[in-house]
Amino acid sequence: MTDGRSSNPAESDSSDSPVESDADPAQPEPQATVFVVDDEIVVRDSLRWLIESVGLPVRTFSSGSEFLDAYSPRMAGCAILDVRMPGISGLDLQETLRERGATIPIILITGYADVPMAVRAMKSGATEFLRKPFSDQQMLDIVQRAIDDDAKYRKKNARLEELRQRLKSLTPRECEILVFVSDGLASREIGENLNISQKTVETHRTNMMKKMQVSNVALLTRLYLEAQVSSD
C-alpha cells in the first residue's frame, strides 16, 4: 500500500551573442520526488524520515508491482530500490523501468551484495549500488546527486524535443536550404545548387528562421547541428 506523502533575420553569419528565441515560456519542471521501494516497513520509514529531514518529498512502496502501477516516466526525482524483494526484485524492477523508457536515476540497496549482482545493476544503468548498512550522509549525498542529474537530463531532453518540433515545421524546400546554410553556403550559391533564384532562397530562409525562432544564421546553424548530433 502506498504511503501518501523571429524577428528580422540577419544576413551575417556571425554574432557576438546569439539572440534568444521568442519561444513560449518553458513549462514548469515537475517536482522531484524520491521513490522508495522496499518490502520492509522499517526500511521504508527510516528512509522517509531521513530524506524528508532535508526537505525532499518522499513516496514509499512495499513492492515493485505497486510502484509500477503508480509510476509514470513524467515523474521526476530518483528511485531507491531494495534488491531482494518478494515478487519483482529491485534488479528486475530497474530493467522493467528501462524497457518502458523511464530514465529516472536508480539507487539500489541490499544487505547481500555480490560482484555479479553489482555488475548487473551498473550495466543496467544504476546510479549507485549501496550495501546496507550505509551512513545517512552517504545516502543523502547520492540522492541529491541523482536528483540533480535527473533535472539536467530532463531539461536537455525538453530542449531537444522543442528543437525537433521546430524542425518538423519546415517544408521540404526549407530543409534543403537549411542543410546548405549549415554548410556555410551563401544564398547565391544555394540558388545555383537548387536551380532557383537568390531571392527565392532568401524568402525561404526568412520563413525558415521565423519557424526556428532565431534571428541570425549562426544560431540557426548551431541548433541544426545540435539536432543532428542528438539524433545519432
Please enumerate in sequence order all residues whose Cβ is within 8 A of that of 151, keeping only pairs 6 or more positions apart, or say none: 29, 32, 76
Identify whether residues 75 and 184 lie together within a single domain: no
Instruction: Indicate the range of 25-34, 54-63, 152-161 predicted with least confidence.
Output: 25-34
Identify whether residues 167 and 215 lie together within a single domain: yes
To the question of pTM greater than 0.75 for the whole model, the response is no
Reported as a pLDDT band with limits 50, 70 and 90, residue 22 is: very low
Contact 5, 47 (CB under 8 A): no
Identify whether residues 156 and 198 lie together within a single domain: no
Mean pLDDT of 199-223: 90
CA distance linking residue 166 with residue 209, whole number of Å: 10
- pLDDT given at position 220: 87
Exposure string for 10-30, b = 16+ CB within 10 A, e = fewer:
beeeeeeeeeebeeeeeeeee
List pLDDT tens digits, range 81-117: 999 999 999 999 999 999 988 999 999 998 876 767 7
Instruction: Give 108's strand partners.
Output: 81, 129
**Domains in the chain, number:** 2
Q: Does 136 fall in a domain?
A: yes
Examine the fold and report which residue of 132, 160, 188 is the final residue of a domain before the chain moves on: 160
Identify whether residues 49 and 127 lie together within a single domain: yes
Identify whether residues 75 and 88 lie together within a single domain: yes
Mean pLDDT of 190-204: 93
CA distance linking residue 102 with residue 114, whole number of Å: 26
List pLDDT tens digits, range 218-229: 888 888 888 877
The average confidence (pLDDT) of the chain is 84
- pLDDT given at position 116: 74
Examine the fold and report which residue of 140, 160, 180 is the final residue of a domain before the chain moves on: 160
Instruction: Name the nearest CA neighbour of 81 among 92, 70, 71, 72.
Output: 92
Q: Does 19 fall in a domain?
A: no
Grid cell at residue 172:
521540404
Reported as a pLDDT band with limits 50, 70 and 90, residue 146 is: very high
Which residue carries 544564398 as its cell? 187
CATH number at residue 38: 3.40.50.2300
Mean pLDDT of 43-71: 96
Reported as a pLDDT band with limits 50, 70 and 90, residue 201 is: very high
Examine the fold and report which residue of 160, 182, 214 is the final residue of a domain before the chain moves on: 160
Identify whether residues 54 and 118 lie together within a single domain: yes
Task: Give the domain extent around 203.
Answer: 162-231
Q: Does 98 fall in a domain?
A: yes
